[in-house]
């Protein structure tokens, strides 16, 4: 049996515009056409689209859902702390430290059906910390650290691309690393967290000069400005940064600052609209 696009939209819960977009971007289905040019979908097309829609509703990105359906993979246990996730992370770490790209990707595939935020918070960011700790203790070299970081960044960037972080209709959040900051994994994780909650995210990368940030936020006037401090800062220097960000941003923009580089005393004397804490993810959730 065949169906036109409006009927498929009714059966699957996917609106026609989205169906057409998925066809163009992912080559998801290739429906036949009537003589008048109308799309004709088969029962198999409808079944596959319904499965993908269900996975997206569970929290997967469209790219991840398509990959899982095409591979016919089985879901992992819902409990992200279960052995499947721990074992996949351990396998991924072992492969990364031996420059085994294929092995690392196979280990990652084992958890690719997890929702984006869980993959970030339970797999990718913990791997970053483990690799950093090993490098800090001189148990691995710079080459291993660079190899692992490159693949982890690739996966974070892929999640951001699948989420289309800049196209949501919610309020806008600007995420940026300021001048001198080179660590971006935490910020990328924040972008993914916000995007999954409906925020429109503008990611400006790291090591951005303050005058460039001011130009952007003054023109776009975002609802939220997020930055991460990884390089260690003294209390006086940090307070100057807080004041500079507050003076530079529009008054309606909430500012969130977090990261391991914050000074021991992060008290900010009643600076309106500025939120500070080492754990950036929890702080963003509270402020947003």
Does residue 78 sit within a domain?
A: no
Position 163 scores a pLDDT of: 83
Q: Quick one: CA torsion of 151, 91, 100, 230, rounded to 10 degrees? A: 30
Percentages helix, strand, coil for the chain, rounded to the nearest 5? 55, 10, 35
Q: Which residues contact 113 (CB under 8 A, 6 or more apart)?
A: 55, 60, 64, 68, 73, 75, 76
DSSP class of residue 239? H
Mean pLDDT of 42-66: 79
Position 80 scores a pLDDT of: 47
* Whether residue 92 sits in one domain with residue 199: no
d(CA 214, CA 45): 49
Does residue 231 sit within a domain?
A: yes
pTM recorded for the entire structure: 0.69
- Give the chain's domain count: 3
Position 74 scores a pLDDT of: 45
Q: Could you read off the pLDDT of 125-174 as tens digits, one per residue?
A: 999 999 999 999 899 999 999 999 999 999 999 999 888 877 777 899 99
Position 283 scores a pLDDT of: 52
* Whether residue 35 sits in one domain with residue 124: no
Position 138 scores a pLDDT of: 92
Mean pLDDT of 42-63: 79
Mean pLDDT of the chain: 84
* Whether residue 213 sits in one domain with residue 259: yes
Q: Could you read off the pLDDT of 242-275 as tens digits, one per residue?
A: 999 999 999 999 999 988 888 875 555 567 888 8
Position 79 scores a pLDDT of: 47
Which pLDDT band, with edges at 50, 70 and 90, does 101 fall under? very high
List the domain range (segments joined by +) for residue 122. 83-163
Instruction: Mark which of 163, 195, 218 sits at the end of a domain.
Output: 163
Position 279 scores a pLDDT of: 59
* Whether residue 178 sits in one domain with residue 152: no
* CA nearest to 53, candidates 90, 82, 10, 87: 10
Does residue 227 sit within a domain?
A: yes
Residue 12's CATH number? 1.10.1660.10
* Whether residue 178 sits in one domain with residue 204: yes
Q: How far is CA 135 from the centre of its chain?
A: 25
% of the chain at pLDDT higher than 90: 44
For the cut 90, the answer to whether the pLDDT of residue 11 exceeds it is no
Does residue 184 sit within a domain?
A: yes
d(CA 153, CA 215): 27
Mean pLDDT of 71-75: 52
d(CA 142, CA 35): 61
d(CA 186, CA 177): 10
Does residue 41 sit within a domain?
A: yes
Residue 118's CATH number? 1.10.1240.10
Residue 272's CATH number? 3.40.50.280
Position 282 scores a pLDDT of: 53
Position 278 scores a pLDDT of: 60
Which pLDDT band, with edges at 50, 70 and 90, does 61 fall under? confident
């Amino acid at each position: 049996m065949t169906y036109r696009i409006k009927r498929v939209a009714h059966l699957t819960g996917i609106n026609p515009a989205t169906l057409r977009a998925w066809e163009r971007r992912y080559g998801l289905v290739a429906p036949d056409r009537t003589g008048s040019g109308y799309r004709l979908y088969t029962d198999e097309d409808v079944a596959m689209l319904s499965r993908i829609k269900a996975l997206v509703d569970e929290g997967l990105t469209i790219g991840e859902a398509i990959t899982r359906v095409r591979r016919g993979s089985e879901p992992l246990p819902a409990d992200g702390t279960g052995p499947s996730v721990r074992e996949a992370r351990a396998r991924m770490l072992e492969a990364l430290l031996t420059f085994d790209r294929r092995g690392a990707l196979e280990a990652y595939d084992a958890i690719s059906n997890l929702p984006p935020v869980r993959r970030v918070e339970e797999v990718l960011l913990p791997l970053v910390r483990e690799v950093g700790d090993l490098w800090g203790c001189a148990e691995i070299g710079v080459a291993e650290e660079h190899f692992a970081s490159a693949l982890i960044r690739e996966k974070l960037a892929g999640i951001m691309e699948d989420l289309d972080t800049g196209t949501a209709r919610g309020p806008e959040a600007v995420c940026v690393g300021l001048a001198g900051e080179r660590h971006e994994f935490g910020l990328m994780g924040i972008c993914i967290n916000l995007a999954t909650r409906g925020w429109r995210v503008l990611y400006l990368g790291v090591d951005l000069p303050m005058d460039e940030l001011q130009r952007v936020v003054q023109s776009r006037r975002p609802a939220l400005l997020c930055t991460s401090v990884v390089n260690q800062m003294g209390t006086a220097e940090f307070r100057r940064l807080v004041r500079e960000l507050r003076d530079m941003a529009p008054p309606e923009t909430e500012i969130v600052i977090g990261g391991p580089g914050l000074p021991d005393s992060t008290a900010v004397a009643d600076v309106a609209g500025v939120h500070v804490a080492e754990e950036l993810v929890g702080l963003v959730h509270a402020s947003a």
